[in-house]
Structure 1
Amino acid sequence: MRVAEQQAQAEAERLAHRVFFYDLLHRLRREPNGLLPFHVVSRLRPKGEHYLGMRPIEVDKIIGSVDRYDDFDAQFLPKEPYTVERWTRLRTAQLEGVELPPIQVYKVGETYFVKDGNHRVALAKAENQTYIDAEVIELEVPVALEPGDTLKDVILKGEYAEFLNRTKLDQLRPGHEEIRFSVPGRYDKLLEHIRTRQYFKGLEEKRSVSWEEAVADWYDTLYLPTVREIREQGILQNFPGRTEADLYLWVMDHRYYLSQAQGHAVGAEEATASYRERFAKGPLGRFLEGVSRFFRRLSLQPGG
């Protein structure tokens, strides 16, 4: 047996122990331990692609594969016997001075998905290589992926991409504050808010209000001011794992449900007071007072 082959096999055995440890750690933490499949990118509604050519890319930003995502773990290390065998052959060739060809990847936001060269990436990962040469095709997506994103993150960002597609908020308000939720299925609630705003604005002004105007008005007069109140009161720190958009819905929904329970329209002050009684003093109470002031100002505006 050649010296290079012996060394590669020894490294492969150590690698197997490393993969086992990572898998055990993920199981204990109840975290996913797999690559992202490229097909989930369709959730982000890509608008096109263009060729970037050959360039070095950061190995740590490679988070998925086009068709070999089941063969490697989340660290892009081989977890199946045949992938380990292929890795060992590549490592042997590398030790013998063979120059490995560049890989091919799709760039999605700040991340990459391997089109060709999965085992070469696994080799680079195992060797703690910082960069790897790649032929890059970039996909244009309205919501970018980032290193560390999980399948749940892709689902949430996919819903956000669909929301932007339906509202055109990114076109109506370029540079708008990102609207991110911590759980799926919440953007439909925002669409309901916009439709409601469109209906009542039409009644108030006795005219037809376009969808685009309703989107912009909802963002300018409801969403953004509420989020600013959340920031000013520093309330988000009291809700670990939640987002500003989560709290926006929480404030708006509480007002609605109180109205339903009491059989009459509940104002912002009354809705806020009910929460103040429940949570007493502290940051939450100050936040709710700020929200109350915001809605009070809103109600004093013409048509409010």
Structure 2
Amino acid sequence: MIDNHSQAKQDVERARLAATVEDFLSVVRGVPNELIPFDWVKHLAPHGEHQLGVQSIPVDSVIGSVDRYRDFSRHFLPKEHFLDERWISVRKAQLGGRELPPIQVYKVGELYFVKDGNHRVSVARRNGQKYIDASIIELDVRVKPEPDDTLRDLIIKGEYARFLSLTRLDELAPHHRLIRFTTPGRYDIVLDHIRTRQYYLSLKHEREVGWEEAVESWHRRLYARVTEHIEQHHVMRFFPGRTEADLYLWIMDHRYFLKQRYGFDVGSELATLDFVRHFRPRAWKRVGTRLQLLLHGQKLHPTT
């Protein structure tokens, strides 16, 4: 009968082999195979933190590490030989029925980043353990991360968090559709739209219109109407990999172009239909884009 040390040694060797296979497949598919560095979370602009104490958390929800993100694969498989000794020690303790101390993690949204206990997470995940005890520090963020977020995704979400902080849209229109872009720097353009709306309303009503009134009016009269037309006419199917927010900016630019061309505002619906008629990609190109996104594990953004 194999002893615990020999079993643990075999297990770590198989785990490293699986990590090598993961690395190879990630190169073939063009998708990352690293843990998310906790440092990326700063882009979400956390505005506070608090202790949650020790709780049982899903192992699969641990997606990053504070300082060992290069040592393990995306699925917490050990990638280097120098990890073997500690990994074997943890696995031996598990095989021997010893109770291990809770790991320490940061919680961001519904995801976790390991502060201490990377090897314990690796062993647990490798051996199919569903939950693990953790001492949790929760960070307060306006926009939550998702497991497959890239650095660019987190930067954009951080910009969205700043946008929500400046506009208080989540308070003024708590059930508003998510405003997500696929390219950084777009929320500043939306803020310019709101300032323009504020100026227009002030002239129209011959009084000073406040920022919150302008935000609410912009959302109700401009953004919500355009996105309703996008949904009503199934526009998103023509632009795989894009979001409603991307389309909103393009359509608003097109609406301004049509106004300059014809001398009057054609309205959001006609601007939407005319934009699609002139700028939707050909069918073969749309299919190619969808296949490319699926092959690289990227998001199709069907509705948001």
Scaled by the length of structure 1, the TM-score of the pair is 0.84
> Residue 78 of structure 2: SS of its match in structure 1?
coil
Moved over 6 A (4+): none
Structure 1: how far apart are the matches of 2:264 and 2:35? 50
Show structure 2 runs of 5+ residues with no match.
281-304
Bigger Cα Rg:
1
Q: Is the 8 A contact 1:76 1:121 kept in 2?
A: yes
For residues 272-297 of structure 1, the C-alpha deviation after alignment (integer angstroms, 9 at most, x for no partner) is: 575465369xxxxxxxxxxxxxxxxx
- Map residues 183-262 of structure 1 onto 2, 5 A cutoff: 183-258=183-258, 262=261
Show structure 1 runs of 5+ residues with no match.
281-304
Which residue in the other structure is 2:7 paired with? 7
Q: Is the 8 A contact 1:60 1:147 kept in 2?
A: no
Which residue in the other structure is 1:93 paired with? 93
- Map residues 1-304 of structure 1 onto 2, 5 A cutoff: 3-258=3-258, 262=261, 267-268=266-267, 271=271, 274-275=274-275, 278=278
> Residue 51 of structure 2: SS of its match in structure 1?
strand
* Superposed displacement of residue 265, structure 1: 5.6
CA root-mean-square deviation: 2.4
Q: Is the 8 A contact 2:111 2:145 kept in 1?
A: yes
* Superposed displacement of residue 97, structure 1: 3.0
Q: Which amino acid aligns with 2:266?
A: G
Q: Which amino acid aligns with 1:202?
A: S
Q: Is the 8 A contact 2:86 2:119 kept in 1?
A: yes
* Superposed displacement of residue 136, structure 1: 1.4
Change (3 A) 1:98 1:213: same
Change (3 A) 1:272 1:69: closer
Percent identity reads 54
Structure 1: how far apart are the matches of 2:174 and 2:34? 35
Change (3 A) 1:89 1:135: same
* Superposed displacement of residue 169, structure 1: 1.1
* Superposed displacement of residue 224, structure 1: 1.0
> Residue 133 of structure 2: SS of its match in structure 1?
strand
